[in-house]
Amino acid sequence: MIKFLVIISALMSGLALAAKPNIVLIMADDMGYADAGFTGATDIKTPNLDSLAANGVVFEQGYVTHPFCGPSRAGLMAGRYQARFGFESNPALDRGNTVMGIDVNEKLFPQRLKDAGYTTGLIGKWHLGSSHVFHPNNRGFDYFYGFLGGGHDYFRIDMTKPLYEGYLDGLMRNGQPAGFEGYLTTALSQDAVQFIDTQSKQANPFFLFLSYNAPHGPLQAPKADIERYAHIKDPKRRVYAAMVDVMDRGIGDVVQALKHNQVLDNTLIFFLSDNGGPVPNKANPRGGNGSSNQPFKGGKGSFYEGGVHVPFIAHWPNKIKPNTRYSKPINSLDIAATSVALANADKTGLEGVNLIPYVTGKMSSAPHQYTFWRGGAHVEDRWGIVDAAGNKHLYLGRGTQPELYDLSRDKAESNDLVKAQPELADKLYSQWLEWNKNNIPLNMHGYKDYHKLRDNFYKSAVPNK
């Protein structure tokens, strides 16, 4: 009898585990808000992303917590504002530096999923520290194929060149040297398909973070794909469009793998960009990667909408109805909270919310009363806040006065209301100050400053120089 009960208990546990959804998180790198069909692009083809959007939910006010790569990804992985642990700059690639990376005391949400029975995988870009203590296999991922720095050449590896930020460095697979053939974006997509093919046959649910570096620079794409966009006159945008197109086709292959393995219906797919697309500005009029953040102001590195308001969708046939549009502000911290809730995993310390009750209509209130931003060494003069109730955006930039915008009427942030509504501005600022009490100062140099310091150290270490 006891043996029989043990068997029944084991079977029930297996059924409960199998009922948990698989989770696939897909992140683009430096993709402009307006560069997918579901956000308005007409010159770039993204049929696979458009299909996910049409058959899932589009978050019309989807935000990330920082306007550039490393900190945005740190908040995403921790499920907490990155200012809580001082990660507000891009870490340099230095495998000997055991402090320049995401705090080892932060329990990343893939580790939480792993503890709850998920098999976890990361394919692509990491950018959260390159020492062994920060390595993805030591931070909650069972499987890792990709690179540790902030970007990579799309066609080649050349380890005879200076390492610097590792754009020509070799890739890794679970701590061992690895390479790729052809075009990097395609290689990452193919590896994701293999991960799904393997894990779909296992009893445990899986979590996959498909972390593209496309369409981040360098601007490179296969010649044939560039030629498909010959109608785009701007040569920079032409290559950029090809990069987005190849990524979209890879996402289609991932979705097809889920279908082929009969797990698509019970797989929650998130897609977003890590920040807005970089665009030319006064300081760098020839900058940018050819992206568009229309109708928003600013881009990567800016706390205006163009820097933090990103294309953001979720797709889960078992739970989310097709053609769902969600208009209240949500942010990337909600991905961790949603995933952990669905996995019945440890949610201690997470700052997001489970989005599923909101997108299914069970919850009618706003998920967040406020969404906050802070960045840089001078945190007192670079910050922002969105008020979900009034849909207002307050921005304070380096060396400027506060600015206040009504995003419900002014998506381009062209009409500053701070003088007309000083009481609201003061209220928002007081909320930001209260939130900021739980933050700590920036705890690492940016990669450019770090390289200068390291170079000077090496020079000083040479005798008689």
| Rounded Cα distance, 395 and 431, in Å | 13
- In three-state secondary structure terms, 403 is strand
Q: What's the whole-model pTM score?
A: 0.94
Query: Are the C-beta atoms of 314 and 24 separated by less than 8 Å?
Result: no
- In three-state secondary structure terms, 19 is helix
Q: In this structure, what are the phi and psi dihedrals at residue 317, rounded to the nearest 5 degrees? A: -55, -35
Instruction: Give the residue among 6, 36, 23, 40 at the shortest CA–CA distance from 411.
Output: 40
Query: Are the C-beta atoms of 374 and 382 separated by less than 8 Å?
Result: yes
- Residue 438 makes CB contacts below 8 A (sequence gap 6+) with 84
* Weakly modelled stretches of the chain, pLDDT under 70: 1-18, 376-381, 389-390, 397-399, 465
Q: Tell me the three-class secondary structure of 126-157, residue by residue.
A: CCCECCHHHCHHHCCCCEEEEECCCCCCCCCC
pLDDT of residue 390: 62
Q: In this structure, what are the phi and psi dihedrals at residue 20, rounded to the nearest 5 degrees? A: -65, 140
Specify the amino acid at residue 286.
R
Determine, yes or no, domain membership for 1: no
The domain total for the chain is 1
pLDDT of residue 398: 57
Determine, yes or no, domain membership for 13: no
Beta-bridged to residue 331, according to DSSP, are 63
Domain span including residue 235: 20-359
CA 179, chain centre distance (Å): 24
Query: Are the C-beta atoms of 327 and 61 separated by less than 8 Å?
Result: yes
pLDDT of residue 379: 46
Determine, yes or no, domain membership for 440: no
Determine, yes or no, domain membership for 126: yes
CATH number at residue 83: 3.40.720.10
| Rounded Cα distance, 180 and 196, in Å | 19
Query: Are the C-beta atoms of 140 and 116 separated by less than 8 Å?
Result: no
Query: Are the C-beta atoms of 288 and 278 separated by less than 8 Å?
Result: yes
- Residue 318 makes CB contacts below 8 A (sequence gap 6+) with 21, 265, 266
Looking only at the bridges linking them, the beta strands covering 312-315 and 57-59 are: antiparallel
pLDDT of residue 5: 45
pLDDT of residue 282: 83
- Residue 230 makes CB contacts below 8 A (sequence gap 6+) with 238
Determine, yes or no, domain membership for 413: no
Q: How many helical (H) and strand (E) elements, i.e. helices and strands, does the chain have? A: 12, 16
Determine, yes or no, domain membership for 422: no
| Rounded Cα distance, 278 and 293, in Å | 9
Instruction: Give the residue among 432, 384, 372, 428 at the shortest CA–CA distance from 82.
Output: 372
CA 309, chain centre distance (Å): 12
